[in-house]
Amino acid sequence: MNIFKKYLIVFVLLAITSLQGFAQTKAVQLSIIASPPYPLYLTDYANTSGEKLNVQLFLTDLNAQRDVYLKLTVTGPDIEFSTKDNLFNQPSYSLVGGVPYVLYQSDLNYYFNFSNIKGISLQKL
């Protein structure tokens, strides 16, 4: 019985050390570029008169093509709100692997329009 325990321990150790770990990579990278002076109110980003905000989407899988949807979520002390979940009304973006896709402020005004935001009143925003 003692030799059986030794072989069992060796087998378990070999099984554990032979397991391979796989790192999870993010399929889409998102970079936000905001230019100063920054607006005082979040809804000012819905104004398309100035290009103060750009978003770059990048699909890291070079052999893939994906349609993606964006959702704005803001969380902080005593505050949390996001865009509504109307996927049929919000635009989708087709990404090709390895090719950056840039969205300008005029493309993003949907996400900053108060009528598309849930979870906060206009006065608190």
How far is the C-alpha of 38 from the C-alpha of 43, rounded, in Å?
12
* 86 contacts 64 by C-beta, under 8 angstroms: no
Which secondary-structure segment (H or E) carries 11?
Answer: helix 2-17
Residue-level pLDDT at 113 = 83
Distance, in Å, from the CA atom of 53 to the CA atom of 73, rounded to the nearest integer, reads 16
Residues in the chain: 125
Q: Can you give the pLDDT of all 125 residues of the chain as single tens digits?
A: 566 555 556 554 444 555 555 555 678 899 988 888 887 777 777 776 667 888 999 999 888 888 888 888 888 888 888 888 775 566 688 999 999 999 988 888 888 888 888 888 877 76
Residue 100 pLDDT: 95
Question: How much is the pTM?
Answer: 0.68
Distance CA 30, CA 59 (A): 9
Please report, for residues 5, 30, 56, the alpha-carbon distance to residue 100 in angstroms, rounded to integers and kept in the order given. Answer: 57, 10, 7
